[in-house]
Structure 1
């Protein structure tokens, strides 16, 4: 604005007088953000109090959470050291030990010696009269027993020589070890030591004050030692249970029954490429692949098959839902089907199908069809038919009518009007939404599988129920993440090509 056209001071004052409400700052406008901010703060404080978040955080057992997470990426070796009343010991391992049938780990040092024991054995002697059933006692000697056929058995003593363990040292790491000898258990961890006396029966007596990593509920009961990620141990009167933790997944390729078990990657490669046949009927490569697929501990073939079931379940359910929702959405769109009754009936059907969660549908169809992929496919089909039908009908109601009117103006039949005036506008949207639901249902199929609908979800739930195979759970979770990532990338690329945009 030039100086000649610029309003003078009297004119500015006149404008200000006429529109004073525009120039005056509104106190209400400044108060509104303060009220919103205060409301948010009040809601957060109320939620903190109502759900007792502070109390929950303060009393949470973070140690258990850490151990639980460690179970996902590690495995345990669990030797049990039994202690006899005379102080001698015997070492045993869990039935499916990751070390195989003849475990001999370097971190357990055993001192052994041969001892001669005297044991009682029963020997049959002369026949004796069997007492009557009504008799409350018999007149045989206290050390005699009645054998089969009416013979008496008398106790006889025999001697035998056997090898026993007299001292055991378990080394977890440089800072943690447990030594057992002469019915004394000495645990060392983080520069502290704890000595406990066991009686070979049911009583444990601490000889020194308990450090922070040792707990005992009542005097004489078992003592639990927690060493963090390294592992833990339980000391009882007649047994020391060791739980030594190692990072990684044990026997991921070959289980303890495989001829390749315990061999290095180089040894396996040498056997596969140039070694003599382990089994004359097939090559070493075929044997190695068979051992991997049928690994008893990881069950790779079964896991991969269940994962494929989940993918097929998501694809078939989404495909059928798209096929059914496609024609129904034209009946639900007001601008395509003028009948209000038809619109409302179809839309309410869509509302019913999608208002029942997919998880609930899965429970229903599992009961109807039994456990298996059919229940999962039906649950996805019912839920997605309602959701896709609603989305498709809304897309139809928002089309540009000019294109449809243009096709009508040339005298095209009603079917041709929909084909050339409507479909080109909505088909990319339909395909994009169907692809998104296909990718999303790959995740959803995992959840509904846990209730019996088959697939990897059921396998995952079975592993979680054992409360010990958490490394198997981690394996399946990682497999699910990889599959979801791949299908998400494929879905994004296809949607971007359909919509004419760039993939992200």
Structure 2
């Protein structure tokens, strides 16, 4: 192997200055582009105050929302009275005065005391919040244990909540006598004030996913449910246990499976019908927009500007317009997809037509074929696989888009998803619907990809 010295390299560079100067220019251009990208990113970081946004973000709330996607909370409320404690639950809770969670125990109040119809009465309440965490409640005192630490709080009903000594790191109080917040980590939290104690005990999983608290199958183990389905006595004389179980699942008041599935089907149909109608209308109009098919320049320009108008207005804006015109529902969503995709398909189809091979058309004309036959046999076979492939891709993409426009009132699961997010407490329902959407998009993406590959492969083989 021959090595070249620096002197020889300089001699070569002197003999061919154009070659080496071009190399230096390319190197400098690369460095300049890299420096420009870095400068732009630094400017964007400053302009959008990314650092301040990240520093000021409430990551605790974000973590709580994320935990709510994969867990649920049981929220008993213990109200202080002078001589007793009243135990209640939120309106749609699975628990009630005659049904309490296993981790909550209490001593019955003395005879003669009365509690509201929707509450149970007790003289002492104990709650175990995860491992090594507990709350003991009496009408005059609350004792909180976390790990090896204990916090005693004196209660004057309706007046104040006063801790004994300094608060541990896992408890906070903004001002003397006001409410005290106790944090148990993922296991939950408690809010203790002069009026009541609100406990939030968190568990992994989705509560009552199959059967709500009104179902006769609620609270039974999987084995017990299958035993009833296969050989147990009828729980409802009007139908079999299997039919009853299916009815309870579909009409689950907490998860609303039947309504969610119906809304998901509406989203799928909305995307399919909107894409289909857009394809059917854009196909003939594309022939008018293609300059090599229709030689009239005025017709070309008018048709292309019509396509530009339809696709320049975002699908979400069309959805808002049609929601006002037709009211909330799938018709507004179908119309929004139809208008937007007609413009997009028209542009794509016309460009595909303008790039065809004219030899096939010339061959058809040479044998005296009619203009319609020339288009049918000389143009359509060339572009049809491409057009169908594009339509299939947009059908899969519109399944996702239909979810977004549904959130503004265009129907489908998007509206259901938005309603669940607005409550700010049903994040497990949000996670359930997002998971269903991901599954549908995954299935449709694979179907669309397989069909497009077959069409493109067929075209290549032909």
Normalising by the residue count of structure 1, what TM-score does the alignment of the two structures yield? 0.84
For the Cα contact (< 8 Å) 2:129–2:184, is it kept in 1? no
Q: CA deviation at 1:281?
A: 2.1
Residues 409-488 of structure 1 aligned to structure 2 (within 5 Å): 409-488=366-445
Distance 1:198 1:426, change over 3 A: same
Q: State the distance in 2 between where 1:299 and 1:420 align.
A: 52
Relative to structure 2, which stretch is displaced further, 468-477 or 211-220? 211-220
Q: Which residue of 1 aligns with 2:4?
A: none
Q: Deviations over 1:337-364 (max 9, x none)?
A: 1111111000000000000011110111
Which of residues 76, 81, 90 is equivalent to 2:86? Answer: 90
Q: State the distance in 2 between where 1:20 and 1:43 align.
A: 34
Which of residues 479, 490, 493 is equivalent to 2:450? Answer: 493
Tell me, yes or no, if structure 1 residue 57 matches structure 2 residue 14.
no
Q: CA deviation at 1:213?
A: 2.3
Which of residues 235, 241, 247 is equivalent to 2:198? Answer: 241
Q: CA deviation at 1:189?
A: 2.3
Count matched residues: 446
Residues 239-318 of structure 1 aligned to structure 2 (within 5 Å): 239-318=196-275
The structure where strand makes up a greater share of residues is 1
Q: Which residue of 1 aligns with 2:281?
A: 324
For the Cα contact (< 8 Å) 1:196–1:208, is it kept in 2? no
Q: Which residue of 1 aligns with 2:3?
A: none
Bigger radius of gyration, 1 or 2? 1
Q: Deviations over 1:27-48 (max 9, x none)?
A: 4333222221211111222222
Which of residues 333, 341, 349 is equivalent to 1:384? Answer: 341
Q: Which residue of 1 aligns with 2:104?
A: 108
Tell me, yes or no, if structure 1 residue 71 matches structure 2 residue 28.
no
Q: State the distance in 2 between where 1:371 and 1:250 align.
A: 31
Structure 2 SS opposite 1:114: coil
How big is the alpha-carbon RMSD for the aligned residues of Structure 1 and Structure 2? Answer: 2.2
Distance 1:424 1:324, change over 3 A: same
Distance 1:179 1:343, change over 3 A: same
Q: State the distance in 2 between where 1:14 and 1:307 align.
A: 73
Q: State the distance in 2 between where 1:196 and 1:237 align.
A: 10
Distance 1:281 1:117, change over 3 A: closer
Structure 1: stretches of 5+ with no match in the other structure: 1-11, 119-162
For the Cα contact (< 8 Å) 1:101–1:256, is it kept in 2? no
The structure where helix makes up a greater share of residues is 2
Q: CA deviation at 1:211?
A: 2.5
Q: Which residue of 2 aligns with 1:47?
A: 44
For the Cα contact (< 8 Å) 1:115–1:164, is it kept in 2? no
Q: CA deviation at 1:164?
A: 4.8
Distance 1:289 1:24, change over 3 A: closer
